[in-house]
Amino acid sequence: MKLGHWKPFNLFGYALLAFGSGLLTRIYPPISPGYWIGMEILVGAGYSLSVTMPQLGVQATLAPDIVHIGSTTLLFVMSISCAISLAIGQAIFQAELSHNLAEFTSGDTIRAVQAAGVSGVKSVVPPQVLARVVQGYSDALTTVFFVPVVGSALSFIAVMFTTWITLPTENKGASESP
């Protein structure tokens, strides 16, 4: 099926990504797997549309002799934005985790928890504070989910200002019969 439009799918992808990431900010430790798996599917669907549709937009908008430059630039911008978002998310997570754990534990315990990672928390935290540490981890993680909410919302707005180009629906060379 060829619709000839890339922009609505890109907008829909960014909307799904923002909505799904926003819903992921509502997860908490004893949540049912059905909820967070469903949200991950929603985010994955939005991400897949958001990543593939810009390539079509570049190919449809640019002159054929500079499509390779536009495609390379798009790939660079997408890669660097993912790297920057990862660094921002990590910084937010570390800061939030330290802040959340500082309310009830010492700095040495915070460093031990950060060094152990989520899978090693039980080995470095006393059992009487384990539930609070898990909640602190959860709160720090859900704060990080605001990064893709903001990023996809800004991308949605940016796509609104792109040119509405209709893609060619058939190849003229293929439609001619010998």
Query: For the segment 41-90, what is each residue's pLDDT rounded down to a tens digit?
Result: 999 999 998 888 888 888 888 899 999 999 999 999 999 999 999 999 99
User: What is the pLDDT confidence band of residue 104, given thresholds at 50, 70 and 90?
Assistant: confident
CA-wise closest residue to 145 among 18, 21, 20, 14? 21
Please say whether the dihedral angle defined by the alpha carbons of residues 6, 71, 41 and 138, taken in this order, is positive or negative.
negative
What is the structure's pLDDT at 151? 93
Q: What is the pTM of this model?
A: 0.81
User: What is the pLDDT confidence band of residue 117, given thresholds at 50, 70 and 90?
Assistant: confident
pLDDT tens digits, residue range 130-152? 999 999 999 999 999 999 999 99
